[in-house]
Structure 1
Amino acid sequence: MNNVPTSSQPERTYAPCVFVTDDDASVRDAIGFLLQSEQLDHLLCATADELLEMVSPQHRGCILLDVRMPGLDGLQAQQALNERGIRLPVIFISGHADISTAVRAVQAGALDFLEKPFDDELLLEKVRNALDLDQSDWENEHERDDIEQRIAALTPRERQVVEGILDCKLNKIIADDLDISVRTVEIHRANALDKLGARNSSEMIRMVLSSHSYRDWLL
């Protein structure tokens, strides 16, 4: 077993880890050996409860999850993960796979479904794809968080000017709506561009539209 990211190891909080959850010790050990041979950090869990104790929304990586286990089964564990805001890609593994179970898993957000016995190379391919997907999702979320912080730094007047730009209004129209001069609109626009780190209005619009803040503005 490799080192496991925990809250007491903040420098490893975001280190990618493969969480292997299966009640069959021989399966866990076999997958663990395979992951070790590829130098992939991993954690072996015998039950869904063990998994839920270890993983948090701050972790990065993916989850290999057996469908049939004592206590919480795989689908119940997946529901618990979703309820806790844990969005790591989930790959289900099962020796008793059926179409209805696979469909339910995918509908609940599972990335893939593999039936035992599975080919080692196929499993590694699925794991690498899941890790790549999680990395991409994490980078996008990190970028969105950064944009949110920049938007929060806008003054109320700068935000009003940005809203006018989003509505495709000319500076003169924005100035009339806000009862200020066109020059003042230009100053607020320049300040907003600077705070958001946007090179031009088009880039600023793209950044704002990708944010959660914009949805709040529409309410």
Structure 2
Amino acid sequence: MSDVTPVVFVVDDDISVRESLELMIRFAGWQPRLFESAQAFLNEPRPLVPCCLVLDINLPDLSGLDLQASIAQDRRNMPIIFITGYGDIPRTVRALKAGAVEFLTKPFDDEVILNAMADALETSRAALDGEKNLHALRQAYQTLTPREQEIMAMVVSGRLNKVIASDLRISEITVKAHRGKVMRKMKARSLAQLVKMSALIMPEH
């Protein structure tokens, strides 16, 4: 994902702010996408590249805080940087508690907002990589046979091969063979790594 151009979304009803941020974003090497309202932004498809949202708290339709709430589940890999000309402590606290990564009052320093964007895009990149890895783990888990899934659950719970063999009434050699297949299919280099994988895809274990 390192060769993909990150996207910075800007939602602000002030055209001068949008134009100023557009120049800044392009200069930094990112792709700007500008909107004058929350609804216009919501009509945009969810991107599958590293991205962040620079969001004015005061908008003509939905407020910035309402927009933040509406995309909280669908766009969790899109960090939000709030900007406002009318900052106040209660709204700042509400925005940050809801997951905003920064809250800047206009006029803001160019370097400050550029650094905030860079940090937000790195957070987004890490989140997308995590989603991709989790998807690959779930796909690998689905390639296991029911018996292999059963043995994987017993292995990561700490049971020894001989105990598993006794519980399932099969030979210890058979357990070792299944265990080897589980490790190969899951691409786990160690038991510790398999345990970490199981924590992601098998929460009950």
- TM-score > 0.5, shorter chain as reference: yes
Q: Mark the CA change 1:55 to 1:122 in structure 2 (over 3 Å): closer, same or farther.
A: farther
Aligned counterpart for 2:149 among listed residues 144, 149, 159? 159
**Structure 2 residue 189 is the aligned partner of structure 1 residue 199:** yes
Partner amino acid for 1:151?
A: Y
Stretches of structure 1 that go unaligned for 5 or more consecutive residues are: 1-13
Kindly tell me the number of residue pairs found equivalent between the two proteins. Answer: 202
Q: Mark the CA change 1:58 to 1:38 in structure 2 (over 3 Å): closer, same or farther.
A: closer
CA RMSD of aligned residues (A): 1.4
Q: Mark the CA change 1:165 to 1:83 in structure 2 (over 3 Å): closer, same or farther.
A: closer
Take 2:130 and 2:161, find their aligned partners in 1: how far apart are those partners?
A: 32
1:80-121 CA-to-partner distances (Å, cap 9, x unmatched) read: 111434430000000001111011111111111111000001
**Structure 2 residue 38 is the aligned partner of structure 1 residue 54:** no
Partner amino acid for 1:188?
A: H
**Structure 2 residue 131 is the aligned partner of structure 1 residue 141:** yes
Aligned counterpart for 1:182 among listed residues 148, 172, 177? 172
Partner amino acid for 2:13?
A: D
Task: Give matches, 1:30-69, under 5 Å.
Answer: 30-56=20-46, 58-69=48-59
Task: Give matches, 1:20-39, under 5 Å.
Answer: 20-39=10-29
Q: Is residue 57–residue 87 contact of structure 1 (8 Å, CA) maintained in 2? A: no
Q: Is residue 80–residue 100 contact of structure 2 (8 Å, CA) maintained in 1? A: yes
Take 1:15 and 1:182, find their aligned partners in 2: how far apart are those partners?
A: 52
Take 2:56 and 2:119, find their aligned partners in 1: how far apart are those partners?
A: 18
- Distance apart, 1:55 and its partner CA: 4.1
The structure whose RCO (Cα within 8 Å, separation 6+) is larger is 2
Q: Mark the CA change 1:54 to 1:200 in structure 2 (over 3 Å): closer, same or farther.
A: same
Take 2:70 and 2:180, find their aligned partners in 1: how far apart are those partners?
A: 46
1:58-80 CA-to-partner distances (Å, cap 9, x unmatched) read: 35310000000101010011111
Partner amino acid for 2:77?
A: R
Percent identity between matched residues is 35
Q: What's 2:162 paired with?
A: 172
**Structure 1 outlier segments of 4+, above 6 Å:** none
Take 1:87 and 1:135, find their aligned partners in 2: how far apart are those partners?
A: 8
Aligned counterpart for 1:208 among listed residues 193, 198, 201? 198
Q: What's 1:3 paired with?
A: none
Partner amino acid for 1:108?
A: A
Partner amino acid for 2:180?
A: A
- Distance apart, 1:37 and its partner CA: 1.8
- Distance apart, 1:140 and its partner CA: 1.4
- Distance apart, 1:39 and its partner CA: 2.1
Aligned counterpart for 2:108 among listed residues 107, 118, 130? 118
- Distance apart, 1:199 and its partner CA: 1.7
1:101-155 CA-to-partner distances (Å, cap 9, x unmatched) read: 0111111111111110000010100000001111111111111111111111111
Aligned counterpart for 1:95 among listed residues 72, 75, 85? 85
